[in-house]
């Protein structure tokens, strides 16, 4: 039964990759990578049950957090073109 769910998740991940390759905008790609990450979290949890190794859940937990940080960081990069604190107008004039 867990195998069926894992297979469904893998099929869905393949479909998400198709959208990531097709684009057309960079935001479509980020969106599909984000859902790919969510499915990876679920897949890790299901594999943990499939192999009867509950330690996998810790990895899934950490992966959920890393996935969130990745999405936010990539979006911030594409919105502001850099990751640091934007310097204000006054400071930019001082430089």
Partner 1 sequence: MTTTLLDVISWAFLLIGGASVIIGTLGILRLPDVYTRMHAASITDTLGAGMIVAGLAIQGGFSLVSAKLFLIFVFLLFTSPVSTHALAKAALTAGVTPAGTDRKSGKGAEAP
Indicate whether 66 belongs to the interface with partner 1 (CB under 8 A). Answer: no
| Residues whose CB falls within 8 Å of the CB of residue 18, separated by 6 or more in sequence, listed in order | none
How many angstroms separate the Cα of 82 from the Cα of each of 24, 66, 87? 23, 19, 11
CB of 82 to partner 1, least distance (A): 14
Residues that bind partner 1 (CB under 8 A): 1-2, 4-5, 8-9, 11-12, 15-16, 18-19, 25, 27-28, 30-32, 34-35, 38-39, 41-42, 45-46, 49, 54, 57-58, 60-61, 64-65, 67-68, 71-72, 75-76, 78-79
């Amino acid at each position: 039964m867990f195998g069926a769910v894992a297979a469904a998740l893998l099929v869905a991940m393949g479909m998400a990759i198709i959208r990531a390759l097709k684009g057309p905008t960079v935001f479509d790609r980020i969106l599909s990578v984000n859902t790919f990450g969510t499915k990876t979290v679920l897949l890790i949890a299901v594999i943990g049950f499939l192999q009867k190794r509950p330690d996998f859940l810790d990895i899934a937990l950490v992966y959920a957090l890393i996935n969130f940080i990745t999405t936010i960081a990539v979006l911030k990069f594409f919105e502001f073109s850099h990751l640091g604190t934007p310097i204000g107008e006054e400071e930019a004039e001082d430089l």
